[in-house]
Amino acid sequence: MRVFKFGGASVKDAAGIKNVYDVLQQVGYEDVLVIVSAMGKTTNALEEVIKNYFDKSPELNSSVQEVKKYHNQILLDLFENDKNEVFAAVNAQFADLEYFLAHNKSPNYNFVYDQIVSYGELISTTILSHFMSFKGIQTQWLDVRNFVKTDSTYRDAEVDWDLTQKNIANNIKRKILNITQGFLGSDENNFTTTLGREGSDYSAAIFAYCLNAESVTIWKDVPGVMNADPRYFENASLLNQISYREAIELAFYGASVIHPKTLQPLQKKEIPLYVKSFINPLLPGTRVAKGADLEPYLPCFIVKRNQLLISLSSIDFSFIMEENISEIFGLFHQFKLKVNLIQNSAISFSVCVEDKFGNFNELNAILSKKFKVDFTENVTLYTIRHFNENAAQTVEENKTVLLKQVSRETMQIVTKEN
């Protein structure tokens, strides 16, 4: 079985849905499992619904209606009339969403987030599945929450691999087109969980691992894995093939094409990963597999914006020792700040972190009791794998360099725009 993943950009409108059908016609759809994200910017729109819900905003209903209107237009563009059963199926899902908003009693933001935002994937896969059937392709729509079981860490759940393996291995039909959701799972109480933002790639790897899949293909609007994001760098080059190790390094440092968790389960079973273009599906794209060296051997640039540079120094000029660093990292873990760079001296300790849950102010109050805390917001972290002097100059040009760290293969530079 092959596993395909289509992200939000590939299903953002009716033309995108039709293109997925065209892609499957070209590359084959028998014995294929398709993982699909929410359509376009639906996740962002549902996050606005969540905000309005907690703010008790009068805009709550209109924000829900905007999401409904967006999907209804796609339905009208895809199907000949609104008598098709897909309209009733999608309306039923929106009714479930509205019921939750009206009757939920939990004040837990992360729990509510997962219950609401999940409707993006549930609705997108319902529409895609019905369209495939409408076009004559036999499909099986799967509710991923019946297969991927997790703990109850809402918004960043850990997979229960044993239970997930049993569910997937015993209940997926072969020889037809299976369609299911990325990003989602459920806990032991069958409440919806999510695997972290951009977790649909990880979902594809989970299914591939449990099915001993032939391959995984991530369909993108780019030709494959590039050595740099074309939005930030001119003349970005395609990497034809890279090793699992190199891909894991790039993902670790934040390369956006491949989700950081995706590669480990694939590497364990040596399942090749392809990153290909849904615009030109017959092009080879990038192959990630065992033993394939980076080709060509050239600098790879990774950009992480909206970072926070924190510098801690001892109040009494004493050394910052192992026990201090251990305590600091314990607090970073507790407050869910992702550390992307570390540099320390005898009496200071600097980190570049991502505060995606907005917990730094609370953490700062605790750190300030023991350390002098300086921080700079909205910095940019550049990572250059296989760096050279020209690559470093490209990054540093017209910027203030706040911190630079160099190792054998990798250079990291924290900058502030001038």
Task: Give, in order, the Cα–Cα distances in Å from 135 to each of 17, 25, 45, 379.
Answer: 12, 11, 29, 49
CATH H-level superfamily of 300-417: VC0802-like (3.30.2130.10)
pLDDT digits (tens, 9 = 90+) for 264-285: 999 999 999 999 999 999 999 9
Rounded to the nearest 5 percent, the helix, strand and coil shares of the chain are 40, 25, 35
Q: Tell me: the pLDDT tens digits for 169-201?
A: 988 988 899 999 999 999 999 999 999 866 899
Q: What is the spatial distance between Cα 163 and Cα 154, in angstroms, rounded to a whole number?
A: 18
User: CA 22, CA 18: separation in Å to the nearest integer?
Assistant: 6
pLDDT 10s digits, 107-142: 999 999 999 999 999 999 999 999 999 999 999 999
pTM of the model: 0.85
**What is the pLDDT at residue 134?**
96
CATH architecture of 2-213: 3-Layer(aba) Sandwich (3.40)
| Residue pair 49/127 in contact by the 8 Å Cβ criterion | no
CA angle (98, 104, 109) in 5-degree steps? 105
DSSP string, 8-33: GGGGSSHHHHHHHHHHHHHH--TTEE
Domain layout of the chain by residue ranges: 2-213, 300-417
Distance between terminal CA atoms of the chain? 51
